[in-house]
Amino acid sequence: MSTVVRSFEPPTTQGKTAIVSTDLKLYQSNGSPNSRRVRIYLAERGICASTIPVDLGAKEQFSDAYAAINPRRVVPTLVLGDGTAIGEVPAIWRYLEEAYPDRPLIGNTPKEKALVTMWERRIELEGFNPTMEAVRNAAAGLKGRAIAGPHDYEQIPALVERGKQRVKDFYADFNARLTDTPFIAGHYFSVADITGVVTVDFATKALGLPIPEDHVALKRWYELVSARPSIAA
């Protein structure tokens, strides 16, 4: 695992100073949707971090070196200057929101924070997780690895079709939600939108399930969010 220093500063921070931190290390994989959720967040906030690629194809996540950092053997993991390792995307976001409070993406007020957390959780449960379930139970390269983590689980073919149906239901439900609001949690871009766009992109690429043409509100939201420079991170 080699370190790459990256500056995640998109034009969304125009007129504002980027948040520079020399003691943040992000262990991640470019092919990991969860890693992408954190990369987009860093880019949107203008937070600079060092990235250490973890080669999932080579099963580098199971190496002793990485297991010592994250015993769950998944990416991403954020390592702080004092050596503290933080796994799980919501936990990484929570740390960054509180350590660097300028321009938060989980809301400013208690009400906003609750609503963003609620909608992001729904996106994860109703869209992101079903997509991952369908992919991991279908991919030949994940035979015996239907669930990410330290333990082996056999694939269940029936979960593939169920996962695809859940994604279709997710599209319909959130098309209805976005009929009344520009962004998922309200009138501002948030981590709910990050998880949403990553879900749509992964479902489109890995399952061949793009947004249906008649889901006008969802397509409008997707085009709006995808135009943000941070989404390319």
Whether 171 and 130 share a structural domain: yes
Residue 9 has a pLDDT of 39
Whether 137 is in a domain gets the answer yes
Provide the CATH number for the domain around residue 24. Answer: 3.40.30.10
Q: Is residue 104 part of a domain?
A: no
Same domain, 78 and 41: yes
Number of compact structural domains in the chain:
2
pLDDT at 17: 56
Same domain, 116 and 227: yes
Let me know whether 71 and 130 are in one domain: no
State the residue range of the domain holding 20: 4-99
* C-beta separation of 59 from 1 below 8 A: no
Same domain, 144 and 194: yes
Based on the fold, state whether residues 60 and 129 are members of the same structural domain.
no
Both 162 and 192 in one domain: the answer is yes
Tell me which residues of the chain have a pLDDT lower than 50. Answer: 5, 7-15
Q: Reduced to 3 DSSP states, what percent helix, strand and coil does the chain have, rounded to the nearest 5?
A: 50, 15, 35
Residue 8: per-residue pLDDT: 40
* 91 & 154 share domain: no
d(CA 167, CA 199): 9
One domain for residues 160 and 228? yes
Instruction: Answer yes or no: is 42 within a domain.
Output: yes
User: Looking at the domain assignment, is residue 53 inside a domain?
Assistant: yes
Q: Are strands 19-28 and 4-7 parallel, antiparallel or unpaired?
A: unpaired
- In terms of domains, do 135 and 213 share one? yes
In a domain, 105, yes or no: no
Tokens, residue 176: 């209805």
